[in-house]
Amino acid sequence: QVVLVESGGGSVQSGGSLRLSCVASGYGYYGFNAASMGWFRQAPGREREGVAASDCLGRASYADSAKDRFTISRDNAKKTLYLEMNSLKPEDTAMYYCATARGFCTPGLAPASYSYWGQGTQVTVSS
């Protein structure tokens, strides 16, 4: 059973930065190294949307809203996924989730492609 635990959320002012972490456990034979991972967010009244993804080869992809401001990275030795967020805007306010996709190397940013989810960490950006 894969378990994902996010942390690092908080309240910041517009233009500030946060670093989210997602610690993973419960991976089988192929391990975290070959896992496809992603960061997603959901604001009240809105659908969950993909923010950034790191596929099974470690290649990154980003939503247009995240390009040039957010960076996804992973430390395979620590089984941890990160999301560095800079130049935060009020519209970035949301619950942020990490997730992993089973059976896909490059699942992209579609939430439906991901199987296991963390409990989320809240990010609030004030103007």
pLDDT for the residue numbered 104: 82
Q: What is the mean pLDDT of the chain?
A: 94
Q: What is the pLDDT of residues 22-75, one digit of tens each?
A: 999 987 656 888 889 999 999 999 999 999 999 999 999 999 999 999 999 999
Per-residue model confidence (pLDDT) at position 31: 81
Regarding predicted confidence, which is higher, 76 or 64?
Answer: 64
Other CB atoms within 10 A of residue 32 CB: 21
Do 24 and 79 meet the contact criterion of CB atoms below 8 Å apart?
A: yes
Report the helix count and the strand count for the chain, using DSSP H and E.
0, 11
Beta carbons within 10 angstroms of residue 77's beta carbon: 8
Phi (first) and psi of residue 34, to 5 degrees: -105, 15
Averaged pLDDT, 102-111: 90
109-124: pLDDT as tens digits? 999 999 999 999 999 9
Strand order in the sheet with 70-75: 3-7, 18-25, 80-85, 70-75
Q: What percent of the chain has pLDDT over 90?
A: 85
pLDDT at 103 over 90: no
58 burial type by CB count under 10 A (0-12 exposed, 13-18 middle, 19+ buried) = middle
d(CA 107, CA 37): 9
